[in-house]
Structure 1
């Protein structure tokens, strides 16, 4: 019981889990007035921001691994800073297994990328189990890949 409680406390302190995110503007583009009148009918749709798409994909992958449970994949998604705090992957695998056992398979129900500034981003996302939901969870881009940095 103590190991299970410790695992849950660590998970909560580390931002509990991971994440996904779908960015949202405060006001959808369709509701924003055009800068110089109506756009020509042939104007291309705005391009998706690759950094946001990559961050969302990383958050969703980490979350999926966390609740699968796949401790190896979830550990690989940790930033260097978080991996150093966690230490050996084996105890982290136990945390992941305990969370999956306690909550079952969970999927992100909504995701918002709060901000991205250089190699740092923050993501908020929700689950069907409210206490698993994350607000402004930290992520860091290391070696070109987004890593969970909410430890």
Structure 2
């Protein structure tokens, strides 16, 4: 047999053996859609989306106490609560009650995430691109300070 035929024969035997053996989990039931890793990712994304919407609602309500509590510890260490409340009061007076119109979770890596969302005002929307969020104590916290 020539070298070429030997290689082809070996490849055919390897493919046949792989097909005959199948995977180790042939008898295992298939996981339902949305379970396991994809289900966990969906839960994380849903929790993050809910938190972004709640923070935005509190920010423009204005509900300074709630919004401030939704800041990461790092941001709370940098931002005075009274100054923050004044900022929210001014935003509500200037723009009224705004809410999330579109939202995309750009990235989730462990306890850190990036989210892009809009509230219908270009002044704010251009700043809401890939906003950082961190998960602390099981809750997503706004981390763009």
Normalised to the residue count of structure 2, the TM-score between the two structures is 0.71
Would you say 1:84 and 2:84 are equivalent positions?
Answer: no
Residue 131 of structure 1: which of 123, 131, 135 is its match?
123
Pick the structure with more helix per residue: 2
Q: How many pairs were matched up?
A: 108
What whole-Å deviation, never above 9, does each CA across 1:27-81 have from its counterpart, x for those lacking one? xxxxxxxxxxxxxxxx954355111111101100000000000000000000000
Structure 1 Cα separation of the partners of residues 135 and 33 of structure 2 = 27
Whichever of the two has the greater Rg, that structure is 2
* Structure 1: gaps of 5 or more residues: 1-42
Normalised to the residue count of structure 1, the TM-score between the two structures is 0.68
SS at match of 1:62: helix
SS at match of 1:123: strand
**How large is the Cα RMSD of the aligned pairs?**
1.3
Q: How do 1:1-150 residues align onto structure 2 when only pairs under 5 Å count?
A: 44-46=32-34, 48=39, 49-87=42-80, 89-133=81-125, 134-150=128-144
What whole-Å deviation, never above 9, does each CA across 1:71-107 have from its counterpart, x for those lacking one? 00000000000000003x1111101111111111101
Task: Tell me: higher relative CO, structure 1 or 2? Use CA pairs within 8 A at least 6 residues apart.
Answer: 1
- Provide runs of 4+ in structure 1 moved above 2 Å: 43-48
* Structure 2: gaps of 5 or more residues: 1-30
